[in-house]
Amino acid sequence: MIDLKFLRENPELVKENIRKKFQEHKLPLVDEVIALDEQARKTQQEADEIRASRNKLSKEIGQLMAQGKKEEAEAVKAKVSANAARLAELEVLEKELSEKVTKIMMSIPNIIDSTVPIGPDDSCNVEIEKFGEPVVPEFDIPYHTEIMERFDGIDMEAAGKVAGNGFYYLMGDIARLHSAVISYARDFMIDRGFTYCIPPFMIRSNVVTGVMSFEEMDAMMYKIEGEDLYLIGTSEHSMIGKFIDTLNEEEKLPYTLTSYSPCFRKEKGAHGIEERGVYRIHQFEKQEMIVVCKPEESPKYYDILWKNTVDLFRSLDIPVRTLECCSGDLADLKVKSCDVEAWSPRQKKYFEVGSCSNLGDAQARRLKIRVKDKEGKKYFAHTLNNTVVAPPRMLIAFLENNLNEDGSVNIPAALQPYMGGKEKLIPAK
């Protein structure tokens, strides 16, 4: 959510940003919120004047009564009563206008960074850099669930009976590999100075609307029936929520945290053949990283975050690339974002395994995450997040890039301590 004062003073800039996001249907919202804000400020001014007058008139009543001027005192009392009725009306109106302004402001997209490429959708995303040499072996690589089945490592049929489509049982070496990757990612981030955290896996609605747009909320979140609780779609939600309504000392920044959690997503819509299996599912586990920092430091931490993911994947012999997200592909709260994509030898192309985002002060403004400097000045922090690793999708890249012609899978040296010293996984069939 952008600053209302900024919108009031720069309406054309906000409209131009909406055009860059290809959300022309939101253009009328700018003028609408300006008109509502003007009405709200006038309403508040009138209410404040009545409150000030009420104090003055109360003193006047006391003076008149002390002087024995009861009729004049009663006239002033009548005026106070009339003012009280008007004040009650104004206070109701104040609340209504405030809620309308807030709702609209939460629908207007954040101002994107000047370096973001302009385009309507992900087809306009721009490759930044490749890391590692993508290889296509001479032998055919099976679909990822077929590889897992050779190790007796997956049962989607049973999961379908138990929970429906979009769920799975991981078993044996594949389940162990899944846990090993998560544990390795945890220690990888701890070694890079991040504080490890296991957060709540459910959050209240005010945190949900603080960390994402209404559109994202509807598309992703599962609500707990009868309670003001939602299952998290990523631990970033509860990790950023940890700082709700806080005033943080500037010298303690940045906060750099890495968190583990299960994640739950609706994943609405139909998906193609490449998004079957364990690629797009309703439940998965994830290691995340978030940063809460001073505004001037957020570009630096943005680069630190995506590089962490690149380094982790390269340590597991997986080639990756970074892809700059264009304006139309950015969620409304994001200032700048890039995807980390892993190489798929089977598809002979890259696919998304993580996303790094700088949200500026949008989340902090919604959640009231403030910072106080040495002079006592207060301002909103900047927040960033990035995927460290999200198996089982990451397992697709791992298995394809470490698969041998005989069906065995190499275990990179960095992961071997988490796999009981195994250097290879040998298929059961």
**Residue pLDDT, tens place only, 10-39:** 999 999 999 999 999 999 999 999 999 999
| Nearest alpha-carbon partner for 395 in 180, 190, 189, 196 | 180
203 shares a domain with 166: yes
**pLDDT of 142 higher than 80:** yes
85-94, 134-143, 394-403, 417-426: the lowest-pLDDT one:
85-94
Residues 6+ apart with CB under 8 A from 142: 150, 346
Q: Give residue 269's pLDDT.
A: 53
Our CA angle for 420, 318, 291, nearest 5°, is 90
Q: What residues make up the domain containing 19?
A: 4-105
Question: How many CA atoms does the CB half-sphere of 143 hold within 13 Å?
Answer: 10
137 shares a domain with 47: no
24 shares a domain with 148: no
296 shares a domain with 397: yes
Q: Using CA atoms, how far apart are residues 107 and 332, in angstroms rounded to an integer? A: 8
pLDDT tens digits, one per residue of 202-238 = 999 999 999 987 777 878 899 999 999 999 999 999 9
128 shares a domain with 88: no
Q: Give the CATH number for residue 27.
A: 1.10.287.40
Residue 371 domain-assigned (yes or no): yes
Q: What angle in degrees, to the nearest 10, is found between the helix axes of 27-66 and 11-20?
A: 140
* Total domains, the chain: 2
Q: Using CA atoms, how far apart are residues 139 and 129, in angstroms rounded to an integer? A: 28
96 shares a domain with 130: no
28 shares a domain with 150: no
Residue 115 domain-assigned (yes or no): no
Q: Give the CATH number for residue 210.
A: 3.30.930.10
Residue 167 domain-assigned (yes or no): yes
